[in-house]
Structure 1
Amino acid sequence: MTSPTTPAPAPVWLPAWEAADGAARVRALFTATFDAEPAGTFSAPGRVNLIGEHTDYNGGLALPIAIEHRTWAAVSLREDSRVRLVSAQGQGVWECDLDEVAPGTVQGWGAYLAGVAWALRQSGRTVPGFEVAVDSCVPFGAGLSSSAALEASLAIGLDSLLGLGLGGDDEGRVVLAAACVRAENEIAGAATGGMDQAASLRARDGFALALDCLDSSVHHEPFAPEGCELLVIDTRAPHSLNDGQYASRRATCDAAAEALGVPTLRHWLDAAEGGVDGAVAAADAVLTDDVARRRVRHVLTEIDRTRRAHVAMRAGDWGAFGVLMDASHTSLRDDYEVTVPELDVAVEAARAAGALGARMTGGGFGGSSIALVPAGTSAAVADAVVAAYADHGFGAPAFLTSRAAGPAA
């Protein structure tokens, strides 16, 4: 704990890069590494999920936005099946033979990119080897979909260079997003849902992506909260989705759906009498394990909260939206048990400093919180969060703000 007389450090802000700067960075890295000019440069955004957490793999609803922070990829195709990758955030060149890529065969950050090419091959496309240089201002490990941004930047690049014709409309981008999901699930070994990839590839500048994960349909809703701004708090707490905790939550939900006799928990909610309360009560009557009951309660109520948040967004009722954000975090903390103290303290401090609502975003177990704050107060709220972290003896967090940005391009 810090002394009351010791001032808290100034907040650290993480700006987004200008597009020309991001492209220049990866071109320079590509040329320095591979002694050639790339065939093209591409980028894809990270995302913030406004509400609808751990619902995607349950057939539920989510409401993400793409953020201005992006991953850039400089890409060239090869005539053989060799894959060579370099990252400004790593050391050395990561290599593999694309012909030998299969579940369980590759490790490390390159698996996310090699997995995209593997998945496109699995869908019947012809994909040769390639060389890629990547750089990113999406904070790594912050729960802002740095992995999906990495996958999507290559997916849109391969689509362009190979002339696959998928990036030109939403129907084709659904295919690219599915390839990215397979890459993450089957090659990189992270059992995530598809919300992150959908946001990175299918978002629209200035709009939130109202995503129905049951059929992958989307609606684009204007996101420009009048009188408010969105503050993102990178807790800098250790964060990983492939350490078993995320997969455990997903396995519990899958087993619960099977016990309830439905394909997904969304099916249970939609078929239940008495709305979400009736669905929760009926599930409690069938499930015998208390942990499963709490996990299911979170999913069912979170889908319902996301529906109501969508209505509040359309009505411009940001007070109601903030209340739903608060309830979402409480459910994620108590029923789904995916928060950590750093996330909880960030949320509590933001609320105390005047946020209309605050919640963790992303898979949890570290990562980021978001706060919907009155316009012009992000700096003051950030100061309050930094002070609260210092009081708890936590390492300093970092902050960013973003409007709803455009997709991979």
Structure 2
Amino acid sequence: MTPADRAAEQFRRLHGRAPVGVWSAPGRVNLIGEHTDYNDGFVLPFALPFRVAVAASPRADGRLAVTTIGDDTVPQRAEPVPVAELAPGRVTGWAAYPAGVAWALRDEGHLGGADLVIVGDVPAGAGLSSSHALQCATALALLGLAGVTPEQDGGPALTEVARWVQRSENDFVGAPTGLLDQTASLCCVESHALFLDVRSGAREQVPFDATATGFEVLVIDTRARHSLATNGSGYADRRRGCERAAALLGVPALRDVTLDGLDDALGALPDELRPLVRHVVTENDRVLRTVAALRAGEPDDIGPLLTASHASLRDDYRVSCAELDLAVDAAVGAGAAGARMTGGGFGGSAIALVPAGARGIRPAVSAAFARRALPAPRLFPAVPSAGAHRDQ
């Protein structure tokens, strides 16, 4: 049973009637382009087949009532809150994520109460954007109840919805995220990676069917818990460092520092800011080179770029951790064409580009974790899948 079917079933069980509709949104893997989004740069994510579904119906009393159903099928209910009274700090915990979306949409003129029932199978805490899948599905559900469909009949662009979701997380939840995850969850399409220029909003769907070209993208969920709310200070410190560096260099964002001009830029900065700038500038270049390889039908060329991205995130941006480094080293050591952490860092998942028929990589990664007495990682293939949509 899909998350959408489960959400509809649970809605009927809890409310005694069918929902008006069910909307869902996927988690994502970022193939490459980490911490470049809030620097106006380039990213290259794709959607996962794992989704969060929201079954929804309007309420006449203007309140938002949210229930989430976990794997144990036990409902967790948030206290209903008037949408008109939502404000940062008014709702905390998991319920802040859907409430923040309702708050952001209210400020865009979409005011209305709703009963929401949320079901999903995106692995939580794995750095695969489960929170953004929840927020994007909630946004589509609340817009749908208001009779609004993005990019149809005068509805908002999906990229505009992504910015509303970003605002809800930045200003309501308090996590200083960029635009990568929301845009990926809303805009990705099956069998493609999404090449996004964050500054302009320009999007290109780049064909990416690794299996057809003899590869598999393997996700390694290290089970080192990832939370930007928990680790927000480290994330926020790096974002502030990038903004400070851009100001010192006299540019709108680090996107404006070219690879050719990198050495001069580094020479004009204090020591503590140089690694951040070096990562962002070289990561943007790695995204462009990866896109060029995929356009040329040469996915085997991206392996070294993935590994170089991880080294930069580990050594310059300093957002990796022991579990992520172990996953990358074990995968590459066992024959992966390349590997890197994916997501904001501080835990979560890595990805490895695995040649077809390379059967030793999964056991090698599992054995490496066992030798360190670490929890066994969860390993599964990442198949580029469809973005958010209405299911029922």
Q: Same fold (TM over 0.5)?
A: yes
Shorter-chain TM-score range: over 0.9
Structure 2 Cα separation of the partners of residues 85 and 29 of structure 1: 12
Q: Residues 73-92 of structure 1 correspond to what in structure 2 (within 5 A)?
A: 73-89=54-70, 92=76
Percent identical residues: 46
Q: Residues 10-25 of structure 1 correspond to what in structure 2 (within 5 A)?
A: 20-25=1-6
Larger deviation: 160-169 or 307-316?
160-169
Q: Output the aligned Cα RMSD.
A: 1.6
Larger deviation: 292-301 or 89-98?
89-98
Matched with 2:96 is 111
User: Given the alignment of the two structures, is residue 267 of structure 1 paired with residue 256 of structure 2, yes or no?
Assistant: yes
Which of 84, 87, 90 is 1:99 aligned to?
A: 84
Structure 2 Cα separation of the partners of residues 335 and 285 of structure 1: 16
**AA matched with 2:246:** A
Matched with 2:267 is 285
User: Given the alignment of the two structures, is residue 346 of structure 1 paired with residue 327 of structure 2, yes or no?
Assistant: yes
Structure 2 Cα separation of the partners of residues 332 and 241 of structure 1: 16
Matched with 1:408 is 388
Cα shift readout 1:265-302 (whole Å, capped 9, x = no counterpart): 00233xxxxxx1x33212212111x2211011100110
Matched with 2:376 is 396
Q: Residues 30-41 of structure 1 correspond to what in structure 2 (within 5 A)?
A: 30-41=11-22
Larger deviation: 80-89 or 334-343?
80-89
SS of alignment partner, residue 262 of structure 1: coil
Cα shift readout 1:85-136 (whole Å, capped 9, x = no counterpart): 111237531122211212233211111111112112222x232111111111
The offset of 1:343, in angstroms, is 0.3
SS of alignment partner, residue 2 of structure 2: helix
The offset of 1:35, in angstroms, is 3.2
Structure 2 Cα separation of the partners of residues 344 and 402 of structure 1: 20
Matched with 2:105 is 120
SS of alignment partner, residue 226 of structure 2: coil
* 1:33–1:86 Cα contact (<8 Å) kept: no
Q: How many residues are matched? A: 380
- C-alpha spacing 1:305/1:216, structure 2 compared with 1 (3 Å): same
SS of alignment partner, residue 119 of structure 2: strand
SS of alignment partner, residue 235 of structure 1: strand
Larger deviation: 81-90 or 300-309?
81-90
- C-alpha spacing 1:165/1:73, structure 2 compared with 1 (3 Å): closer
Matched with 2:45 is 64
Matched with 1:233 is 220
**AA matched with 1:356:** A
User: Given the alignment of the two structures, is residue 143 of structure 1 paired with residue 127 of structure 2, yes or no?
Assistant: yes
Cα shift readout 1:318-366 (whole Å, capped 9, x = no counterpart): 2320010000000000000000000000001111111111000000000
Structure 2 Cα separation of the partners of residues 51 and 253 of structure 1: 19
Matched with 1:17 is none
* 1:237–1:367 Cα contact (<8 Å) kept: yes
Structure 1 Cα separation of the partners of residues 91 and 62 of structure 2: 15
**AA matched with 1:131:** D
Which consecutive residues of structure 1, in runs of 5 or more, have no partner in the other structure?
1-19, 270-275
SS of alignment partner, residue 328 of structure 1: helix
Structure 1 Cα separation of the partners of residues 151 and 52 of structure 2: 17
Matched with 2:114 is 130
The offset of 1:171, in angstroms, is 6.0
Which consecutive residues of structure 2, in runs of 5 or more, have no partner in the other structure?
none
SS of alignment partner, residue 346 of structure 2: coil
Structure 1 Cα separation of the partners of residues 75 and 93 of structure 2: 12
Matched with 1:257 is 246
Matched with 1:181 is 166
Structure 1 Cα separation of the partners of residues 110 and 354 of structure 2: 48
**AA matched with 1:210:** F
User: Given the alignment of the two structures, is residue 224 of structure 1 paired with residue 209 of structure 2, yes or no?
Assistant: yes
User: Given the alignment of the two structures, is residue 190 of structure 1 paired with residue 175 of structure 2, yes or no?
Assistant: yes
The offset of 1:39, in angstroms, is 1.1
The offset of 1:63, in angstroms, is 0.4
Matched with 1:382 is 362
Moved over 4 A (4+): none
Cα shift readout 1:361-396 (whole Å, capped 9, x = no counterpart): 00000000000101243x532211110000112111
The offset of 1:48, in angstroms, is 0.3
User: Given the alignment of the two structures, is residue 301 of structure 1 paired with residue 316 of structure 2, yes or no?
Assistant: no
Cα shift readout 1:58-105 (whole Å, capped 9, x = no counterpart): 000000001111111111111122111111237531122211212233
Matched with 1:272 is none
Which of 181, 185, 205 is 1:200 aligned to?
A: 185
TM-score scaled to structure 2, two decimals? 0.93
Structure 2 Cα separation of the partners of residues 33 and 340 of structure 1: 41
